[in-house]
Amino acid sequence: MKADRWAHNIDLQADTIEGFQSEMLAEIKVEGEFVSGKDTVAAVRDKVRLLLEEKGQVRHANGAQPGFQIEPEDRITLFFNGYPMQDGKLFYADHFILLPAWAQVFLHSCEFREVAERAAELRNASQG
């Protein structure tokens, strides 16, 4: 089974939940074994970071670099079902994830708290 991850930058100044995420930077497809039943969100985040760093270093056929780069200070927050996943939680067990599944990967330079608060504000505003 495969799980997909989509990587985006976060725009904290966005007015809508759709604008909160920028254009997709990369799409990563991984096998279900990529995450074990004992992996925390933090462990998965670290694995995803390595994949994104590798993907950013790969040259396209014409020699051009992909349009993104992960800086050492960039932080990653995983979102599942529209909500940020907390690092200390188990990836599967605490989020009731069934494969195939997808998670969004957001790159940002701010604190996790800021990302979670802004996402909640935008989600609440869209619900009326």
Structure tokens at 105: 């990967």
Phi/psi of residue 85, each to 5°?
-90, 135
Along the 128 residues of the chain, how does pLDDT read in single tens digits? Answer: 345 556 767 777 888 777 777 777 777 788 778 888 899 999 999 999 888 887 766 544 444 445 567 778 888 888 887 788 889 999 888 877 766 677 878 888 888 788 788 888 887 887 76
Give the chain's domain count.
1
**pLDDT of amino acid 56:** 66
- CATH code assigned at 97: 3.10.20.90
SS3 assignment for the chain:
CEEEEEEEEECCCCCCHHHHEEEEEEEEEEEHHHCCCCCEHHHHHHHHHHHHHHHHHCCCCCCCCCCCCCCCCCEEEEEECCEECCCCCECCCCCCCCCCCEEEEEEECCCHHHHHHHHHHHHHHHCC
**pLDDT of amino acid 18:** 75
Q: Which domain holds residue 81?
A: 2-126
Residues 6+ apart with CB under 8 A from 67: 25
> Considering the entire predicted model, what is its pTM?
0.73
